[in-house]
Amino acid sequence: MKYRCVTCEQEFPNGVPDGAVQLTSERHRVSSYRFTDGTVHNLRQLKVSAKQHQHLHRMAKKVGCEFCFPPPKPEPHPEPVVEQTQVQPPVPEPQIMVEEKPEVMAEIDPEPENELTAITSLAAAFRRVNRK
């Protein structure tokens, strides 16, 4: 059974602790107990049925209510699937053959090839540089 102290609001979900001495009779709604550590608590038994819960929390859910927020059910853990892989030998890297071409040095004509290139400012600048 679940108990709650009326004075300090401490909850005892597993019932009255072992070694507690009852100080008052059980005829009343609240019973006083002295615990082994010397503290005195006035415990009230919490009895809430599903019907009472619907009446009390009809409009809004209450934080801490075990009916409004039930504890999560433990999910069964499936056995882990173990994949067996085969080790394959490494694949040799293909060799790439690169053909080397001899470098060709082109000679630059100092004279313009046509009249269009001769009239551009860039061509004129190159002509001035090449004259020196």
Q: Give the other-Cβ count within 10 Å of 23's Cβ.
A: 12
pLDDT above 90 as % of the chain:
0
Model confidence pLDDT, tens digit, residues 9-35: 888 878 887 888 888 877 777 888 898
**What is the value of pTM for the model shown?**
0.38
Return d(Cα 7, Cα 30) in angstroms, integer: 11
Res 116: pLDDT: 60
Res 55: pLDDT: 73
**Cα 128 → chain centroid:** 71
Mean of pLDDT values over 28-54: 81
Q: What is the residue-averaged pLDDT of the chain?
A: 76
Dihedral pair phi/psi, residue 43, rounded to 5°: -95, 140
